[in-house]
């Protein structure tokens, strides 16, 4: 069987590039090349802009309710094709089927559905100014771009295109070159649902293609998901044409476990927030601060459950709940952090090695890893690892732990476990993070805005306010009286 080659998706169909350049995509669980993708060369880039201009002309003049109706058809198709799309995500990312089957496509579809419902309700203002008055219109921005990370490829494409399209914009999306297929399938679905050609285009390639998007003067906004360092480059480049930006970046989020907490629940949260999607989630609570009084109980249960309940293996096996990391390079990076943790004096409670499960012997697995005896100055406690590596620390004073939790330039997420309702709110209000959970961790419904404080991001995704981020306000003053002029 020949290995498939996918082209860029422009103006409602696949378009061949002129350079002939392609790149290979590997299944992280097998190390096999599963398909090739054509790089978006100058010809494709130009075609994408022309296509998006035409798409915008057609889409932005439709009424919000017409757009909503079409987007809801796309939502139905996404749900109908859940298993097919979930399998693509498993093969591209290495994440377990049991997650992708119920999360990746569903949470993507939910967000498009949410914004499709919201768009017709978006209204302007009207106010009298004497006998004159003004009114405002919420108008789309024009052509928007999305640049995605590799951990939730389809979901990220949906979270960015959902509000953008609902508000009447055209979109050019660049998935990560590690995971390019989900966005192509979304593009096909949009066309099938009736979204006009050119409204959603997919360009493929690595950083250079992303850079072109951030530089293009024809693009009004870029919504980026990725590392803090890349985000800074994107903002700098977008400044050249004063683009609007949304930045969804990395984190090193704290979870505070007080001594009155339900410890089993807190362990569940810590495990979900470090080992779900084999640790490749931006909001992960990779710094767990446990009150000294419950520390031993916490780490005993954590060790037992990590060693007994995590099943690594072929991600397509529905019993497997722990998959492979995205690439060999990333596996090596995560292992280098583990080595650093050991050399800086942290103790391994469990894990700390690569895995080669019988059902996926060539996969890029790293064992679920827990470090104890950690201190705030260790590299593993300060830097985002983006793998299954948890650092456990202790505390005994509320103010002190809040100070330690906030002592970072990142501020994506935070959590607190306590049965004391006053403490829960008091503490969470002082934590410098954009996405917070009390006695819970990781849930991110379409209705809830998400985004980072400090260097973890700019702007928000999801929630009502995001629709505003894809529109601009036009103010229109209406003269009802004669103009008074000194001339």
Residues in contact with ligand NDP by the rule CB under 6 A: 147-151, 174, 176-178, 206-207, 210-211, 214, 225-227, 230, 233-234, 248-251, 282, 384, 386, 412, 452, 457
Residue whose CB is less far from ligand NDP, 73 or 233 = 233
The stretches of 81-150 forming alpha helices (DSSP H) are 82-93, 97-100, 104-118
Q: Is 64 exposed, middle or buried (0-12, 13-18, 19+ CB in 10 A)?
A: middle
Which among 177, 178, 220, 248 is annotated as catalytic?
Answer: 248
Question: E strands, 48-169, where?
Answer: 126-129, 132-140, 143-147
Only one residue has tokens 């640049």, namely: 147
Q: Measured from the CB of residue 211, what is the shortest distance to ligand NDP in angstroms? A: 4
The residue of the chain with the least Cβ separation from ligand NDP equals: 210
Q: Is 131 a catalytic residue?
A: no
* Active site (annotated) includes residue 99: no
Among residues 101, 177, 280, 461, which one is catalytic?
A: 461
Is 282 one of the annotated active-site residues of the chain?
yes
Q: How far is the CB of 42 from ligand NDP (least distance, A)?
A: 17
Contacts of residues 459-464 at CB distance under 8 Å and 24 or more positions apart, as own/partner, are 459/223, 459/245, 459/246, 459/247, 460/246, 460/434, 461/159, 461/160, 461/163, 461/223, 461/246, 461/248, 462/111, 462/114, 462/159, 464/118
For helices 104-118 and 153-166, the axis angle rounded to 10 degrees is 10
- Secondary-structure breakdown of the chain: helix, strand, coil percentages, each rounded to the nearest 5: 40, 25, 35
- Cβ atoms of 300 and 335 closer than 8 Å: no
Catalytic choice (282, 285, 374, 384)? 282
For ligand NDP, the closer of residues 388 and 457 by Cβ is 457
Catalytic residue among 26, 160, 174, 185: 160
Q: How far is the CB of 225 from ligand NDP (least distance, A)?
A: 5
Nearer to ligand NDP, 17 or 214 (CB): 214
> Residue 118 CB, nearest distance to ligand NDP (Å)?
20
Nearer to ligand NDP, 94 or 196 (CB): 94
Q: How far is the CB of 38 from ligand NDP (least distance, A)?
A: 14
- Catalytic, 160? Answer yes
Among 311, 368, 365, 319, smallest CA distance to 97 is for: 319
Which CB sits closer to ligand NDP, 270 or 282?
282
Residues recognised as catalytic: 160, 248, 282, 461
């Amino acid at each position: 069987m020949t290995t498939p080659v996918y082209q860029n998706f422009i103006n409602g169909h696949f378009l061949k590039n002129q350079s002939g350049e392609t790149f290979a995509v590997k299944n992280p669980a097998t190390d096999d090349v599963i398909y090739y993708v054509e790089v978006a060369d100058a010809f494709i880039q130009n075609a994408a802009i022309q296509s998006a201009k035409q798409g915008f002309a057609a889409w932005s003049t439709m009424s919000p309710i017409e757009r909503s109706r079409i987007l809801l058809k796309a939502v139905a198709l996404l749900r109908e094709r859940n298993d097919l799309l979930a399998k693509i995500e498993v093969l591209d990312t290495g994440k377990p089927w049991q997650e992708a089957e119920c999360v990746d496509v569903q949470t993507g579809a939910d967000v498009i559905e949410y914004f499709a419902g919201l768009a017709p309700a978006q209204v302007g203002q009207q106010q009298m100014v004497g006998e004159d008055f003004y009114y405002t219109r919420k108008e789309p921005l024009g052509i928007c771009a999305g640049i995605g990370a590799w951990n939730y490829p389809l979901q990220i494409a949906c979270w960015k295109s959902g509000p953008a399209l609902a508000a009447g914009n055209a979109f050019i999306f660049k998935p990560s070159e590690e995971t390019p297929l989900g966005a192509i399938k979304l593009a096909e679905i949009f066309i099938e649902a009736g979204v006009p050609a050119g409204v959603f285009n997919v360009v493929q390639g690595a950083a250079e293609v992303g850079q072109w998007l951030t530089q293009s003067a024809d693009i009004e906004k870029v919504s980026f998901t990725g590392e803090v360092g890349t985000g800074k480059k994107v903002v700098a480049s977008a400044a050249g044409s004063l683009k609007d930006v949304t930045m969804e970046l990395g984190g090193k989020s704290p979870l505070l476990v007080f001594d009155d907490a339900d410890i089993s629940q807190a362990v569940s949260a810590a495990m979900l927030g470090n080992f779900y999607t084999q640790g490749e989630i931006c909001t992960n609570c990779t710094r767990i601060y446990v009150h000294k009084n419950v520390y031993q109980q916490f780490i005993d249960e954590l060790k037992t459950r990590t060693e007994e309940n995590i099943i690594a293996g072929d991600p397509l096996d529905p019993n497997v709940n722990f998959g492979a990391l995205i690439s060999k390079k990333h596996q090596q990076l995560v292992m280098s952090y583990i080595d650093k943790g050991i050399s800086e004096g942290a103790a391994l409670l469990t894990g700390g090695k690569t895995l080669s499960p019988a059902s996926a012997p060539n996969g890029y697995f790293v064992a679920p890893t827990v470090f104890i005896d950690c201190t705030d100055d260790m590299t593993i406690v300060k830097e985002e690892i983006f793998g299954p590596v948890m650092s456990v620390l202790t505390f005994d004073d509320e103010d002190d732990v809040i100070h330690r939790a906030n002592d970072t330039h990142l501020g994506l997420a935070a959590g607190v476990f306590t049965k004391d309702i006053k403490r829960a709110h008091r503490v969470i209000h002082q934590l410098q993070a954009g996405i917070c959970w009390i006695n819970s961790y990781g849930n991110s419904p379409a209705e809830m805005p998400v985004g980072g404080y400090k260097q973890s991001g700019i702007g928000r995704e999801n929630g009502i306010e995001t629709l505003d981020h894809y529109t601009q306000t036009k103010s229109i003053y209406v003269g009802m009286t004669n103009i008074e002029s000194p001339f």
